[in-house]
Amino acid sequence: MKKVKKITGFIILVMILVVSMTGVAFAASTDLTGMKDDIYSAQTTPDANGVNFKMNFTVEGGKVANFTFGKFSGANKFSSGFIAAVSDQKQKEAIQATVDEQDYYTTQMASVGDATKVAKYSKAIDDSMYTAFQTLWKQLVTQGGGKIVEDGTVTTSTTSRSNPKTGDSGILVYVIIAGAALVSMVGLNRKKLTA
């Protein structure tokens, strides 16, 4: 009986690991077809120090162009120029981390064209920039007449990739069916042991 419980526990653990490793997490995607060709911009409310996030992009023929995003202090975007003006090493490192993160999001948008499919920067210091990135994107898309829709996009902490809906659902269905089969096999083995 102890052996059956151990096997069952092991099977459940393996199923949990398989599901977590496949990244079966359904994220959103953006439908820009309702958005007019125009320039879109938004910003977060400045904090007590006058620091906020801003996003700008152009929609041309249903695609995003000229995308910019970043952290600003007043009218000045955090940049390498800030680093030269600061003497404290820890502040320099924090500014460099900010510049690297905003560059990552801008680069990803140039290749993906949809902020909902961009994973959080793996070296992010905190969630504030990624949260602002996603919030401003969704705000501008919905204001412009576009839609944020659920789909089978898989997002991990270091990369983002888009699989067909059937691929992601197929993995989940496979794991559920395999789990049910294993539980059934354990149940049959129990019956054999008690018979």
Say if strands 76-77 and 28-31 run parallel, antiparallel, or are unpaired: unpaired
Q: In the block, which residue shows the tokens 């395999």?
A: 178
Q: What does pLDDT average to over the chain?
A: 77
Q: What is the pLDDT of residue 134?
A: 96
3-state secondary structure of 131: helix
pLDDT digits (tens, 9 = 90+) for 144-182: 998 888 764 443 333 333 333 334 444 555 556 666 666
Contact 75, 68 (CB under 8 A): no
> What are the E-state strand segments in the chain?
28-31, 38-43, 51-60, 63-73, 76-77, 147-150, 153-155, 160-162
User: 19 versus 185: which is more confidently predicted?
Assistant: 185
Contact 72, 54 (CB under 8 A): yes
pLDDT digits (tens, 9 = 90+) for 45-80: 999 999 999 999 999 988 999 999 999 999 999 998
Contact 123, 97 (CB under 8 A): yes
According to DSSP, the residues that pair with 150 across neighbouring strands are: 28
Question: Per-residue pLDDT for 25 more than 90?
Answer: no
How many whole angstroms separate alpha carbon 195 and alpha carbon 189? 10
Alpha helices in 47-164 (DSSP H): 80-84, 89-112, 128-143
According to DSSP, the residues that pair with 155 across neighbouring strands are: 160
Q: What's the whole-model pTM score?
A: 0.63
Q: Which tokens in the block code for residue 144?
A: 């412009």
Q: Which tokens in the block code for residue 135?
A: 């919030």
How many whole angstroms separate alpha carbon 140 and alpha carbon 142? 6
